């Protein structure tokens, strides 16, 4: 595994963005999503109450590998949360969990939210929207 897809990139994939889908195909079997991202996607999908979105979400989840968030990931995320709070640069709870998960697993985080995630020391970021 090389890449962990953030929620925004997963949403672009679900909506059929060609740039993201091309990268996903290029790196087939080298990417997954965090169970935290899965949570955010479910929450967003339920909030739309749109049958088309539900179908697209179901198709995406059927094909994607979901990596469970475990105790080592919680430890890394907790450290990161403390560091960002102390520095006065918090990025939000879910983003902190996802970044910590990527750091814990030594994966590159694929996101279009470079503003937030660039605050995380040592986190490798790729943007598949460019």
pLDDT in tens, 54-88: 889 999 999 999 999 999 999 999 999 999 999 99
pLDDT of residue 49: 76
Distance of CA 36 to the CA centre of its chain: 8
Contact between 34 and 69 (Cβ < 8 Å): yes
pLDDT > 70 fraction of the chain, expressed in percent and rounded = 100
Quote the tokens at residue 25.
């195909």
pLDDT of residue 14: 95
pLDDT in tens, 31-60: 999 999 999 999 988 888 788 888 899 999
pLDDT > 90 fraction of the chain, expressed in percent and rounded = 89
pLDDT of residue 23: 97
pLDDT of residue 26: 97
pTM: predicted TM-score of the whole model, two decimal places: 0.95
Domains and CATH numbers, the chain: 3-126 (3.40.50.1010)
């Amino acid at each position: 595994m090389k890449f962990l897809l953030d929620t925004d990139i997963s949403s672009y994939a679900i909506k059929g963005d060609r740039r993201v889908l091309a990268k996903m195909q290029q790196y087939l079997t080298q990417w997954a999503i965090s169970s935290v991202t899965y949570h955010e996607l479910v929450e967003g999908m339920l909030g739309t109450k749109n049958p088309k979105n539900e179908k697209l979400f179901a198709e995406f989840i059927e094909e994607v590998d979901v990596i469970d968030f475990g105790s080592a990931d919680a430890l890394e995320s907790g450290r990161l949360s403390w560091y960002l709070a102390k520095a006065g640069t918090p990025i939000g709870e879910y983003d902190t969990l996802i970044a910590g998960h990527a750091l814990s697993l030594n994966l590159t985080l694929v996101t279009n939210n470079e503003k937030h995630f660039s605050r995380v020391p040592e986190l490798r970021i790729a943007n598949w929207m460019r």
